[in-house]
A and B are shown apart, each in its own frame.
Chain A
Amino acid sequence: AQKVTQAQTEISVVEKEDVTLDCVYETRDTTYYLFWYKQPPSGELVFLIRRNSFDEQNEISGRYSWNFQKSTSSFNFTITASQVVDSAVYFCALSEATYNTDKLIFGTGTRLQVFP
């Protein structure tokens, strides 16, 4: 079965702290894609990153970085030197290439609050 687990319901940090959001997935497919989306208080869903199952290279984009480890079925997201504007709900999602294609399976989200 395909499933995405975000065990952290809510995280609170103070500005400039680093924070890691965990994502663990389950899939029987050998080819799949992982995504992160951000939902700020204004409510829209913003695409952050897409990775395929064959590319385990970590990715960095400014203060954001992603650590993909197939051995532990995890795709964790780290924000370095967090800022108040990072406050949002972050969703991890999975899409399979062979089974249930085209569909995004979302985790339940992690609410991040960054305090000044």
Chain B
Amino acid sequence: DAGVIQSPRHEVTEMGQEVTLRCKPISGHDYLFWYRQTMMRGLELLIYFNNNVPIDDSGMPEDRFSAKMPNASFSTLKIQPSEPRDSAVYFCASSFRAGDNQPQHFGDGTRLSIL
């Protein structure tokens, strides 16, 4: 079975540019999570969706960050404009019936570098 698929795997761009990260969750999973991992702050939950609806975006650092889930099989995390401090690995994860605290399954991550 296909796992969570993220694209791109690596992204290098200049400060001020718009960055779009993409995620395809595991089919049938109704929860989707976006995380950011840095050396300084570890793994941080940015936002999560249930049935395509954003439930909690309290982890989104600033208005420069936005996330959408137009359908059950696709989500985007957008940064506009990007800044060097946004450099991190961004993970997408999905789970089934997270209300029963099922494990989250993670994608391979997108390593983002903002110059």
Q: Which residues of A contact B (CB under 8 A)?
A: 32-33, 35, 37, 42-47, 50, 52, 91, 95, 97, 101-104, 106, 108-109
Task: Return A44 CB to nearest CB of chain B, in Å.
Answer: 5
Which B residues from 8 to 34 make CB contacts under 8 A with A? 31, 33
Distance, CA A91 to CA B109, complexed state (A): 16
Q: Which residues of A contact B43 (CB under 8 A)?
A: 91, 106
Q: Which of A42, A47, A101 makes the CB contact (< 8 A) with B104? A: A47
B50 located at the interface, meaning its Cβ lies under 8 Å from any Cβ of chain A in the complex: yes
Task: Return B16 CB to nearest CB of chain A, in Å.
Answer: 27
Known A43-B89, A47-B103, A50-B103: A102·B98 in contact at CB below 8 Å:
yes
Task: Return A47 CB to nearest CB of chain B, in Å.
Answer: 5
B71 located at the interface, meaning its Cβ lies under 8 Å from any Cβ of chain A in the complex: no
Q: Which residues of B contact A (CB under 8 A)?
A: 31, 33, 42-43, 45, 48, 50, 55-56, 89, 91, 93, 98-99, 101-109, 111
The answer to whether B106 and A103 have CB atoms under 8 Å apart is: no
Distance, CA A50 to CA B57, complexed state (A): 25
Task: Return A60 CB to nearest CB of chain B, in Å.
Answer: 18
- Which applies to chain B's interface (DSSP): helix, strand, loop or mixed? strand
Distance, CA A103 to CA B105, complexed state (A): 13
Which residue of chain B is the closest to A106 with respect to CB atoms? B43
Distance, CA A44 to CA B104, complexed state (A): 13
Task: Return B111 CB to nearest CB of chain A, in Å.
Answer: 7
The answer to whether A101 and B42 have CB atoms under 8 Å apart is: no
The answer to whether B101 and A33 have CB atoms under 8 Å apart is: yes
Which of A33, A45, A106 counts the most B-chain CB atoms under 10 A from its CB? A45
The answer to whether A97 and B101 have CB atoms under 8 Å apart is: yes
**13 A-B pairs with C-beta separation under 8 A:** A33-B101, A35-B103, A43-B108, A43-B109, A45-B109, A47-B104, A91-B43, A102-B31, A102-B101, A103-B45, A103-B48, A104-B45, A109-B42
